[in-house]
Amino acid sequence: MDFPMRINKYLAHKGHATRREADTLIEKGLVLINGVRATLGSKVTEKDTVEVKSRTLRQYVYLAFNKPKGVITLAETKDEKDSLSYLPSDLKRLRLFPLGRLDKSSCGLILLTNDGRVTDRLLNPDRNHEKTYEVTTKDDLRPSFAEHMEKGVDIEGYTTKATSVEVLTERKFRITLTEGKKHQIRRMVVAMHNEVKDLKRISIMNIKLANLPVGGYRRIEGKELQTFLTSLGL
């Protein structure tokens, strides 16, 4: 983070509240900087101590998780291993949940949070938020594969939205979707007379999987988090 920083931006970076929520807390006199009540526009440095007096304030947590292939996103029983099983006990206590799902046979980026405000804003297809995947097929891609996929594919009476497709190798491509029908990519590939061998999600909006190890997680914070929340209207 770059200091000095406005107090509302600082609280947003730390995941305590959105900037608007932070302004409300400040106006109510619930935010202290070095023991002194903060005012709108107050700035903090690395050496300052910030305290939020409101007991009703919930600290939101946002995680990027690299789901392994063969693991379900969210188990219905405690006997099954799922994405949350990979987290340490202190994070499990926060009642995190996944934003959307990935098939058991797929791998890659899953977002975990305890912020219920994000769910509809991210998953509603009318909002057109981008999710990108890398896909390996069992057979070589046809010459017209990308063109047909980009225009939209008929899957059992539904025509998919126009999308972006980049062919990487003879049997691998990258696709960006703004919707999420059940098994959509797999069904699109079948409609193109092929079959998916491996599917990995590599990004959700501005959140990238990058070099996150399989089964590993990292916190989403700072500028990355602020960009994500702002894009969702929070």
pLDDT tens string 142-172: 999 999 999 999 998 999 999 999 999 999 9
| Domain spanning 130-204: CATH 3.90.1150.10 | no
Active site residues: 103
State the pLDDT at residue 55.
Answer: 47
Low-confidence ranges of the chain (pLDDT < 50): 55
Q: What is the enclosing helix (H) or strand (E) of 11?
A: helix 7-13
Q: Which of 197, 194, 203 is nearest to 175 (CA)?
A: 203
State the pLDDT at residue 108.
Answer: 98
Domain-wise residue ranges, the chain: 5-52, 62-115+210-231, 130-204
Q: 5-52: which CATH topology?
A: 3.10.290
Largest alpha-carbon pair distance within the chain? 67
Topology match between the domains 5-52 and 62-115+210-231: no
| Domain spanning 62-115+210-231: CATH 3.30.70.580 | yes
Q: What is residue 203's three-state secondary structure?
A: strand
Q: What is the number of other CB atoms lying within 10 angstroms of the CB of residue 176?
A: 15
State the pLDDT at residue 94.
Answer: 86
Residue 68 structure tokens = 């392994």
State the pLDDT at residue 224.
Answer: 95
State the pLDDT at residue 134.
Answer: 98
Rg, C-alpha atoms of the chain: 21
State the pLDDT at residue 207.
Answer: 98
Instruction: Please state, in angstroms and rounded to a whole number, the distance separating the CA atoms of residues 179 and 20.
Output: 29
State the pLDDT at residue 28.
Answer: 87
State the pLDDT at residue 13.
Answer: 76
Residue 163 structure tokens = 């999308």
Is the bond leading into 98 cis (omega within 30 degrees of zero)? no
Long-range contacts of 7-13 (CB under 8 A, 24+ apart): 7/31, 7/33, 7/38, 7/41, 7/42, 7/43, 7/44, 7/50, 8/40, 9/226, 10/44, 10/50, 11/50, 11/52, 12/225, 12/226, 12/229, 13/221, 13/222, 13/223, 13/225, 13/226
State the pLDDT at residue 71.
Answer: 95
State the pLDDT at residue 41.
Answer: 92
Instruction: Please state, in angstroms and rounded to a whole number, the distance separating the CA atoms of residues 39 and 12.
Output: 16
